[in-house]
Homo-oligomer: A and B are copies of this chain.
Amino acid sequence: MIERDSAVYFATTNKHKFKEASSIVTPYGIRLKRLDLEKHEIQANSLTTIVNTAASEFIKNGVARAVLTDDSGFFIDLLNGFPGPYSSFVFETIGSRGILKLLENASNRKASFQAAVAYCEVRRSPISFTGAVKGIVAQESKGNSGFGYDPIFIPKFGDGRTFGEMSMDQKNRFSHRAKAFTHFCKWYTTRKKSGLR
């Protein structure tokens, strides 16, 4: 059984992401440490497959006894989930301008930010948790805070502003990643209480 105070290692080279994750898991009594390593990232259409493989790989290589990995992407309904798992590459090449061009005159502008988090322990299969924020692709880029596709995404939960027009705090509170981490926390703490492995 996992000891109550054993740390979980979150593999990320991004300090801000680590801080965001910490602020979510700490209230659940989970001690998070940062593993400053790039994850092993395979090509797959499903974020879940990507994070599961990455978490297993860390465990296989013996870097920690309990590891969390995460991945996220921007999925556009009309474009069959494009850019999805390859959102970074697509952003670096065609950018938000390319996305707006692809959706020119499109009436179905539904999209979502999706996140997957995988947890893996020594001698265990990985288990994954997901989160999503639904919304639409804006007609034009608005706001310059945030990363990537933030300025062209208007979340459903908001007041019509894009993610790019919101503060980091407003965004993080309801983010796809926060949701996935919260699902993990609920599972993790329930498991501890029940003594289940």
Contact = CB atoms under 8 A, between A and B. Distances in A.
Interface of A: 40-43, 45, 79-86, 89-90, 92-94, 98, 101-102, 104
A84 B93 contact: yes
Given A40-B42, A41-B43, A86-B43, A80 B92 contact: yes
Nearest to A93: B82
Contacts of A85: 43, 89
A102 to B, nearest CB: 6
A80 B93 contact: yes
A29 B45 CA distance: 39
A42 B44 CA distance: 9
Nearest to A104: B101
Contacts of A90: 82, 86
Given A41-B42, A84-B89, A101-B101, 4 more contacts: A43-B89, A82-B98, A85-B89, A101-B102
A185 to B, nearest CB: 28
